[in-house]
Structure 1
Amino acid sequence: MGLSKPPRLNRLPRTLIRVPFTLGYTLVLLGTGLYARLGDPGTVHDLLADSSTDVSHLSQRPLLTLLVSALWAVGGVTSPYLVVFPLVLGALERRVGGVRTAGVFLLGHVLATLLTELPVAASVAVGHLPDSSLRRLDYGVSYGLIACATALAGLLVPRPRWVLLGGIGLVLAAGSLVDFDPLTEWGHGLALLIGVVCWPYVRRNARWRPSSKDSDAAEGGFAHSERVSGNT
């Protein structure tokens, strides 16, 4: 009698099919990460500079800049984002679908970027900052990823929710100690708040979420609405 595959391996293809947005986006990040590692350093530097969501680029080509800046993971193919990204977005996509997951990601990426760069533009205009502040190297998926992770926390039962939120806070604090950038840290905080604002939206559209006695007691209304609608 042949050996059967472990249950988790049997579920893997089905899980990947259920998260096409996460899978496709992760492959894109792997591709750009490999190019950043193996490509010509000068060309890579120019591409990253052109992808930066600084005031200069946003004022010239806002939509293109916001798009291409989210095609790179800071650190390239060895970036920890490439490990966390599919786990977070995959978990959220399984619960709310690919379109809504993409919406949360884009909301975090776009709003956090604009809310950090527009004050810079205003400060330069009134002379509080030098013109050099209009150009800086700022790209990556961190804002969208944080928004999705925080939105995912809103679908968890109370204890795991606060553990996840605490973990996000610790990671952000540790990152600021390693490489502190006021604008980036401000953007991370805004992305976290954007994820919290998305809680009613993701809860209303969730396909399913874990249930427990704690969640029934703390959030009986949401659990009741799931039972009425027939979601599992």
Structure 2
Amino acid sequence: MPRQREQQSTGEQSTEAPGDLGVRAPSAVRRSPLRALRPWRLLPTPTGTPFTFGYGVVLAVLSVVVAYADPALVHELHQGSSTDVAHLVRTPGLVLVGSALWIAGGLLSPYALALLFVLTALERRIGGARTAGVFLLGHIGATLATEVPIGVAVLVGHLPASSLHRLDYGVSFGVAASIGALAGLLGPWLRWPVLALFGWLLLTNLLAFTDPMTDWGHLIALTIGIGTWPLVRRWRNGRARVAAA
């Protein structure tokens, strides 16, 4: 057994136990803090987060169109995608999807930036299709929860008929739900500050009473996202088991 004697004479030991990475490659453990944090994973990529990347590209292109197109055309596009009661009655599927293709306030608005980072973080944890499902659940659920009462109020005479044509579009409901869902996958030391800060911002906007229906929609969407915690945690744990296997 010359090979074994050679290893013993040089003080080397064979440590090929499955899964024992710390003994054979100690340099892999002692990484720089920057490499351990991997800040580039905060941004979407075509392969790592295809849903967020593709959706972000579509939103960016349409935002450029809004910035440079004729204002009358832009207003017509927004009006045709509005999730007001009149459009929801006539073409519900078209406007529920179409309204999520526009960013109110442009690419540098707070909800646009939140969409980029929040959807990226959520997709890396639960996958693209499920992230899209959470986003749409908040977008559609909060839209119906705010527009249906308007329709009922018009029917009973508490609001004028013009309320049926309220301009309503944007990604903010879906983003609010995604923030609520992502909070459930964070550690407690980050989860509760995120929810407290975002909830405080939403309540501040609601108390300002500039657009109460939209502000109520944001709170409803956040609640919808929080309600998905058992589901998104199950999805996250399932992906972790598959990756470990």
Normalised to the residue count of structure 1, the TM-score between the two structures is 0.82
Partner residue of 2:17? none
Structure 1 residue 99: Cα displacement = 0.6
Question: Does 1:30 find its partner at 2:60?
Answer: yes
Distance 1:10 1:91 in 2: 11
Residue identity matched to 1:141: V
Distance 2:112 2:193 in 1: 21
> Are the aligned partners of 2:44 and 2:52 in contact in 1 as well (CA < 8 Å)?
no
Partner residue of 1:205? 235
Q: Pick from 194, 215, 223: which aligns with 1:185?
A: 215
Question: Does 1:122 find its partner at 2:122?
Answer: no
Partner residue of 1:49? 79
- What is the aligned residue count? 209
Partner residue of 2:50? 20
User: For structure 1, which segment, 76-85 or 30-39, has the greater mean C-alpha deviation from structure 2 after superposition?
Assistant: 76-85
**What 5-or-longer segments of structure 2 have no aligned partner?**
1-33
Distance 1:176 1:26 in 2: 28
Query: What is the percent sequence identity of the aligned residues?
Result: 51
Distance 2:199 2:41 in 1: 32
Residue identity matched to 2:152: A
Residue identity matched to 1:51: S
Cα separation, partners in 2 of 1:31 and 1:15, compared to 1, 3 Å: closer
Distance 2:111 2:156 in 1: 37
Question: 1:107-147 CA deviation, whole Å, 9 max, x = no partner?
Answer: 00001100111111111111111101101111000011010
Partner residue of 2:111? 81
Distance 1:10 1:169 in 2: 28
Structure 1 residue 170: Cα displacement = 3.0
Structure 1 residue 17: Cα displacement = 1.8
Question: Does 1:90 find its partner at 2:113?
Answer: no
Structure 1 residue 77: Cα displacement = 3.0
Partner residue of 2:6? none
Residue identity matched to 1:61: T
Cα separation, partners in 2 of 1:25 and 1:207, compared to 1, 3 Å: farther
Cα separation, partners in 2 of 1:52 and 1:179, compared to 1, 3 Å: farther
Distance 1:72 1:122 in 2: 27
> Are the aligned partners of 1:207 and 1:231 in contact in 2 as well (CA < 8 Å)?
no
> Are the aligned partners of 1:92 and 1:152 in contact in 2 as well (CA < 8 Å)?
yes
Structure 1 residue 166: Cα displacement = 1.4
Distance 1:193 1:231 in 2: 30
Cα separation, partners in 2 of 1:11 and 1:186, compared to 1, 3 Å: closer
Normalised to the residue count of structure 2, the TM-score between the two structures is 0.78
Question: 1:72-103 CA deviation, whole Å, 9 max, x = no partner?
Answer: 01012332322211100000000000010000
Classify the secondary structure of the residue corresponding to 1:155.
Answer: coil
Cα separation, partners in 2 of 1:158 and 1:121, compared to 1, 3 Å: same
Residue identity matched to 1:42: A
Question: 1:186-208 CA deviation, whole Å, 9 max, x = no partner?
Answer: 11111011001100000001058
For the pair shown, the structure with the greater C-alpha radius of gyration is 2
Distance 2:61 2:122 in 1: 23
Partner residue of 2:226? 196
Q: Pick from 193, 200, 221: which aligns with 1:163?
A: 193
Residue identity matched to 1:163: P
**What 5-or-longer segments of structure 1 have no aligned partner?**
1-5, 210-225
Question: 1:180-232 CA deviation, whole Å, 9 max, x = no partner?
Answer: 211101111110110011000000010589xxxxxxxxxxxxxxxx7xx4766
Partner residue of 1:147? 177
